[in-house]
Amino acid sequence: MKKRESTQLQRVIGYFHGTIFLFSVIIGAGIFIAPKGVLKYSSLNVGVSLSIWAACAIVSMMAALSHAELGTTFPRSGAQYCFLKRSLGPFIAFFYIWVNLFSAPAGIAARGLLLAGYIMQPFYPGCFVPEMPKKCLALAILWCLGILNARGVKEVAWFQTVSTVVKMTVLCFISITGIVLLVRGRKENLARFENAFDAEVPGASQIAEAFLQGLYAYSGWGVLVRIAGELKNPGENIPKCLITALSLVALTYLLVNISYLAVLTPKEIMSSDAVAVTWMDRVIPSMQWAISIGVSASIFSSLNCTVFSTSRILYVASQEGQLPLILSTLNIHSCPLVAVIQMLIFASIITIPSDLILLISYVGFIDWIQLGLMMMGLLKLRIQEPNLPRPYKVRLPFVFGTMAMSLFLVLTPIIKSPKMHHVYVLLFLFSGLLFYLPFVHFNLNSPYFNKITCFLQLLLNVSPGNDTDECISAEGTLQKNPPEIAAKKE
Q: Would you say residue 479 has pLDDT above 60?
A: no
pLDDT reading at 132 higher than 90: no
Supply the pLDDT for residue 105: 86
Res. 5 pLDDT band, cuts 50 70 90: very low
CA–CA separation, 319 vs 469, rounded Å? 11
For residues 138 and 351, the answer to whether their CB atoms sit within 8 Å is yes
- Name which of 47-61, 71-85, 420-434 the model is least confident about: 420-434
Q: Hey, where are the domains in the chain?
A: 15-489
DSSP letter (8 states) at residue 315: H
Q: What is the pLDDT of residue 68?
A: 92
Q: Which of 171-180, 184-193, 436-445 comes out lowest in average pLDDT?
A: 184-193
pLDDT digits (tens, 9 = 90+) for 346-392: 888 887 765 555 555 566 677 788 888 899 999 999 999 988 888 99
The answer to whether 199 touches 44, Cβ cutoff 8 Å, is: yes
Task: Evaluate if residue 180 carries a pLDDT over 80.
Answer: yes
d(CA 402, CA 408): 10
Q: Which of 264, 81, 74, 129 is nearest to 188 (CA)?
A: 264
DSSP letter for 111, please: H
> Confidence class of residue 58 from pLDDT cuts 50, 70 and 90?
very high
If pLDDT is split at 50, 70 and 90, which confidence band does 95 have? Answer: confident
CA–CA distance from 376 to each of 86, 370, 439, 445, 460 (Å)? 12, 10, 26, 33, 40
pLDDT of residue 291: 75
Q: Looking at residue 489, what is its pLDDT?
A: 38
- Name the strand (E) or helix (H) holding 463: strand 463-464
Number of continuous H segments (helices) and E segments (strands) in the chain:
21, 4
Sign of CA dihedral 35, 37, 38, 40: positive
Whose CA is closest to 364, among 400, 404, 413?
413
| pLDDT tens per residue across span 281-318 | 888 887 777 777 777 777 888 788 888 888 888 888 88
Q: What are phi and psi of 479, to 5 degrees?
A: -145, 165
Residues 59-75: what's their mean pLDDT? Answer: 90
Residue 245 pLDDT level (bands cut at 50, 70, 90): very high
Q: What is the mean pLDDT of residues 205-229?
A: 84
264: alpha, beta or left? (left if phi > 0; alpha if psi -120 to 50): beta
Residue 380 confidence (pLDDT):
92
Position 468 confidence tier, pLDDT thresholds 50, 70, 90 = very low
Residue 75's nearest CA partner among 341, 347, 312, 365 is 312
CB 27 within 8 Å of CB 171: yes
Which residue has better confidence, 21 or 484? 21
- Confidence (pLDDT) at 382: 92
pLDDT of residue 320: 86
Strand partners, 77: 227
Position 17 scores a pLDDT of 85
Contact yes or no for 277/295 (Cβ under 8 A): yes
Give me the chain's average pLDDT, please: 81
Closest CA to 468 of 77, 4, 155: 77
- In this predicted structure, the answer to whether residue 488 has a pLDDT above a threshold of 60 is no
The answer to whether 429 and 369 have CB atoms below 8 angstroms apart is yes
With a cut of 70, say whether residue 490 has pLDDT above it: no
Residue 475 has a pLDDT of 35
Selecting from 1.20.1740.10, 3.90.380.10, 3.90.1150.10, 3.40.390.10, what CATH number does the domain 15-489 have?
1.20.1740.10
d(CA 226, CA 222): 6
